[in-house]
C-alpha cells in the first residue's frame, strides 16, 4: 500500500479540518477490520462451557448489536468522519484457538468516501462489549490488536474484504 505524502485532515495552515469530498465520485466502497479478545485460560474454559453466555446474556449476540450501532454512529465519535449512508454491516465473531475471539466487521456504502473508520469502530466496540460482558470473570482480558484487513473503492484497494476474496 502506498503511503500518503501528507496528512489529509489538516488545512493549508496546519489546523485540523474535515476533508471536503464533494468533488469525489460516488462509488461502491467496502472495508473490513478485525479485533481480537484474549482471555485467561480459566475464563476461556468457562466461556466455552457456557456457550459464550454470561450473566448479562449472550456475549456474541450483544457484541454484534453493539458493533452495528457503533458503525452507524462513527461520525459522532471520530471528529472528522463524515456521516455516511451505510448499505450493509456484517459482524462475525469466532474462536481462534482456545483463548481468543476474533471479531471481523465489514461495512459497505455507496458514497464519496470510504468506511475504514466505520469498520474499525464496529470491530473495536464489539470487542469492548465482549470485555464488558465477561469482566466479572476476570479483568485480565486483553483487547487487540485492532486493524484494517482491507478496503475497496476510492483511489486504491488494499487487502481483503470479508466474503469478497
Please give the share of the chain, as a percent, with pLDDT higher than 70. Answer: 95
pLDDT confidence band for 19 (50 / 70 / 90): confident
- Pairwise CA distance, residues 132 & 59, whole Å: 9
Q: What does the pLDDT look like over 21-73, one tens digit per residue?
A: 988 989 999 999 999 999 999 999 999 999 999 888 899 999 999 999 999 99
Residue 87 counted as domain residue: yes
Q: What does the pLDDT look like over 135-155, one tens digit per residue?
A: 999 999 999 999 999 999 988
Closest among 115, 133, 63, 49 to 92, alpha carbons compared:
63
pLDDT confidence band for 14 (50 / 70 / 90): confident
pLDDT confidence band for 165 (50 / 70 / 90): very low
Residue 10 counted as domain residue: no
- CA max distance for the chain: 57
Kind of pairing between the strands at 142-152 and 27-38: antiparallel
Q: List, in order, residues 6 or more apart from 49 with CB less than 8 Å away.
A: none
**How many CB atoms are closer than 10 A to CB 110?**
13
Residue 105 counted as domain residue: yes
- Pairwise CA distance, residues 144 & 39, whole Å: 11
pLDDT at 3 over 70: no
pLDDT of residue 1: 44
Q: List, in order, residues 6 or more apart from 74 with CB less than 8 Å away.
A: 81, 117, 118, 121, 122
Residue 44 counted as domain residue: yes
pLDDT of residue 154: 85
Closest among 42, 5, 21 to 114, alpha carbons compared:
21
pLDDT confidence band for 164 (50 / 70 / 90): low
Residue 125 domain boundaries? 27-151
Residue 161 counted as domain residue: no
CATH code, 131: 3.30.70.640
Q: Tell whether omega for the bond before 70 is within 30 degrees of 0, i.e. cis.
A: no
Residue 88 counted as domain residue: yes
Burial class from Cβ neighbours inside 10 Å (0-12, 13-18, 19+) for residue 83 reads: exposed
pLDDT of residue 73: 98
Active site residues: 132
Q: Decide which of 5 and 4 is more confident.
A: 5
Number of domains observed in the structure of the chain: 1
pLDDT at 118 over 70: yes
Instruction: Look at 17-31, 66-80, 102-116 and tell me which has the smallest mean pLDDT.
Output: 17-31
- CB 80, CB 17: distance < 8 Å: yes
Residue with C-alpha cell 486493524? Answer: 147
- Pairwise CA distance, residues 97 & 41, whole Å: 11
Residue 49 counted as domain residue: yes
Amino acid at each position: 500500500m502506498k503511503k500518503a505524502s501528507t496528512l489529509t485532515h489538516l488545512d493549508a495552515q496546519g489546523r485540523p479540518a474535515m476533508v471536503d469530498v464533494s468533488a469525489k465520485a460516488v462509488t461502491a466502497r467496502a472495508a473490513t477490520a478485525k479485533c481480537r479478545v484474549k482471555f485467561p485460560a480459566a475464563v476461556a474454559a468457562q466461556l466455552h462451557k457456557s456457550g459464550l453466555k454470561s450473566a448479562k446474556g449472550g456475549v456474541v449476540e450483544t457484541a454484534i448489536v453493539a458493533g452495528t450501532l457503533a458503525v452507524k454512529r462513527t461520525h459522532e465519535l471520530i471528529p472528522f468522519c463524515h456521516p455516511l449512508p451505510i448499505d450493509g454491516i456484517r459482524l462475525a465473531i469466532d474462536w481462534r484457538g482456545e483463548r481468543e475471539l476474533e471479531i471481523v466487521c465489514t461495512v459497505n456504502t455507496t458514497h464519496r468516501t470510504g468506511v475504514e473508520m466505520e469498520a474499525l469502530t464496529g470491530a473495536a466496540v464489539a470487542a469492548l462489549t465482549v470485555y464488558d460482558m465477561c469482566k466479572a470473570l476476570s479483568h485480565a482480558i486483553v483487547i487487540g490488536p485492532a486493524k484494517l484487513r482491507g478496503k475497496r473503492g476510492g483511489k486504491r484497494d488494499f487487502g481483503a474484504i470479508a466474503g469478497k476474496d
